[in-house]
Copies of this chain bind each other. A is one copy, B any other.
């Protein structure tokens, strides 16, 4: 997994919750995937697709692949930034997102991630092409990958 290049399309901020830690005193590793999801949702909203609408239209983005590289531990109360990057050409068929997690005041990533997806309807059937509700997501990349939100 390469370090993502370009500008992040969105930056999601969170504070580590107590119940995300384990007995080693650090965040349990599977929680990073929930954070990637939260960051992805923020990007989708920034692209103009509200949760309610998407639910109504029955457009889903199930995960078909997910990876995370852990560099340093996240701890209870840490303020984190999840930066989301997208491969523009992947959007129409199998959207690929990259993630970089930074801890406030550290200045370097504590984790990198990647998820791959397909577009599906509520019955789980594959959709082809970038759904209309998300067209603006594609245009985020106009003007040299400027940030959506």
Contact = CB atoms under 8 A, between A and B. Distances in A.
A146 interface: no
A18 B29 contact: no
In the assembly, how many copies of this chain are there?
4
A21 to B, nearest CB: 4
B65 A66 contact: no
B18 A62 contact: no
Interface string A8-26: 0000000001110111111
- The winner among A31, A68, A70, A124 for most chain B CB atoms within 10 A is A68
Contacts of A41: 18
A62 to B, nearest CB: 7
Interface in A54-97: 55, 60, 62-70, 73, 75-77
Interface in A1-47: 17-19, 21-26, 28-31, 33-34, 37-38, 41
